[in-house]
Chains A and B, each alone.
Chain A
Amino acid sequence: MHQFVSTTEIEIDIDRMVDTYGNMLFRICLVILCNESDAEDAVQDTFIKYLSKAPTFNDSEHEKAWFITVATNRCKNMRRYNIIRRHLDINDLQLYCRNEENYGLLEALMKLPHKQKAVLLLHYVEGYKIEEIAKILSITAAAVKKRLQRGRELLRQNYREEEK
């Protein structure tokens, strides 16, 4: 038996998804890609994938993890194909970041390598445990631990330099 979904239902669904996950995904993508239009593209592609695949989720946590996985993979691919790595200018940060005190830390975070950046974001910002991050990024728990440790070291180092 076919289940027909009306256009209005799809519209409501995507509105709900953008409202729920839009901001979170944009933050993750912006920090990883360091570019507003690339981040917007990555988020848009994530929602398009959601609409075309119409995945079913066990719960809201599963749903959130799915969106993060798709978005981080998209960022990874975009970075791979963008030879020139762009960094967000401190002036551009003012457009998205409300608190001026955070500019230095955000800049230091954005300068980190992609691998460490993604792990730090998922652990410290989204609150995922090591095993959960390993599942989302399809890497081993040991690799997550290593990236976290290295990421913290690099961030501390970058942040100190930013503050000088």
Chain B
Amino acid sequence: MDERKIKDAVNSIEMSKAIENRLKTKCFDPNREKSRQINFKKWGSVASAVGILLLLLINLPFISNYGNSQMATFTITAYAADNTGHELLKEKTTFDLATLERIGVLTSISGDGDNLIFTNVSLNVSGENIDSIFYEINKGTFIEDVILSKEEVANWDKLVLEKINYLTNAPNSEIFQGIKYIGNTFTVKYSEQQKYKYSLAIPPHNSLEEEILINVTVTYKDGTSEQQDIVVNHESGSISLVLD
């Protein structure tokens, strides 16, 4: 392309007489001012600041004094041997382990039972409009203490089928106590918590490479859900639970 054409084309543009006159008049006007352009860069920053402020205002009710997200609206209570409820908090709640004696007389049904500490610590959730609660433990399992008769104990196949892995009984007694494996997860209806009260069985602290976590997720009647995590620590002769 001939580059002289560019010059000719551009030079063929002519400013109109009206613009020329306006320029002369406006420039000479003592009250003249520069043309105003909307400074999007500046207004962009203002808009961002307003946006952040709004976001903070909207989220303020959900932020606690410590800057963490507000606690879930349900509370978790732990029960141990004395049957006294202890609401779990950010501070440790410690329970003595009264289960060590029981371990000594356990009989393994399947013969390959895990090396677990059977506690009698169970959990209960309180709140409003809760439909169901889902529990999940990353290490160990949930267990249920069951009472069995001599006849029931005699049917080992059934015991295996029902995942009753351990048996214990007082000397010369025909009443047996069994430990039923529930698994590492279970879901319970809010109104049926007393009926399905499962305890924790956790690995001994010296066999652990990571902390034990229990995730508690509640589903409300409107379909929404909330969750909290519990950190479980097994110390010598005791077990402590703390909200994560």
- The answer to whether A96 touches B15 (Cβ under 8 A) is yes
- Residue of chain B at shortest CB distance from A25: B15
- The answer to whether A155 touches B23 (Cβ under 8 A) is no
Bound together, the chains give a CA A155 to CA B19 distance in angstroms of 29
Within 8 A of A (CB), among B1-57: 1, 3-16, 19-20, 22-24, 26-28, 32, 34-35, 37-41
- The answer to whether B13 touches A27 (Cβ under 8 A) is yes
Bound together, the chains give a CA A31 to CA B26 distance in angstroms of 23
Bound together, the chains give a CA A55 to CA B38 distance in angstroms of 28
Stretch in contact with the other chain, from A44-52, A59-67, A129-137, A139-147:
A44-52
Bound together, the chains give a CA A23 to CA B8 distance in angstroms of 14
Interface size class of B (residues with CB under 8 A): 20 to 34
Q: B156 to chain A: closest CB distance in Å?
A: 79
* Interface assignment of A77: CB less than 8 Å from any CB of chain B: yes
Contact of A23 among B4, B6, B14, B35 (CB under 8 A): B14
Q: Which A residues are in CB contact (< 8 Å) with B12?
A: 97-99, 102, 106
- The answer to whether B10 touches A14 (Cβ under 8 A) is no
Bound together, the chains give a CA A56 to CA B105 distance in angstroms of 106
Within 8 A of B (CB), among A1-60: 10-11, 14-15, 18, 22-23, 26-27, 30-31, 36, 40-45, 47-48, 51
Q: Which B residues are in CB contact (< 8 Å) with A164?
A: none
Among B37, B38, B40: residue with most chain A CB under 10 A: B37
Q: Which A residues are in CB contact (< 8 Å) with B27?
A: 14, 18, 44, 47-48, 51
Interface string of A107-137 (1 = CB under 8 A from B): 0010000000000110011000000000000
Q: Which B residues are in CB contact (< 8 Å) with A124?
A: 3-4, 6-7
* Interface assignment of A86: CB less than 8 Å from any CB of chain B: no
Bound together, the chains give a CA A14 to CA B28 distance in angstroms of 8
Bound together, the chains give a CA A121 to CA B15 distance in angstroms of 17
- The answer to whether A47 touches B5 (Cβ under 8 A) is no
- The answer to whether A40 touches B10 (Cβ under 8 A) is no
Q: Which A residues are in CB contact (< 8 Å) with B1?
A: 152, 155-156, 159
Q: B208 to chain A: closest CB distance in Å?
A: 58
Contact of B23 among A31, A47, A99, A159 (CB under 8 A): A47
Closest 9 CB pairs of A and B: A41-B35, A102-B9, A26-B15, A124-B6, A105-B9, A47-B27, A99-B12, A125-B10, A81-B37
Q: Can you sample 26 A-B contacts with CB below 8 Å?
A: A10-B28, A14-B24, A14-B27, A26-B13, A27-B13, A30-B13, A40-B23, A42-B35, A44-B26, A45-B34, A48-B27, A48-B34, A82-B37, A96-B13, A96-B14, A97-B9, A97-B12, A97-B14, A102-B8, A102-B12, A109-B9, A124-B3, A125-B10, A152-B3, A155-B1, A156-B1
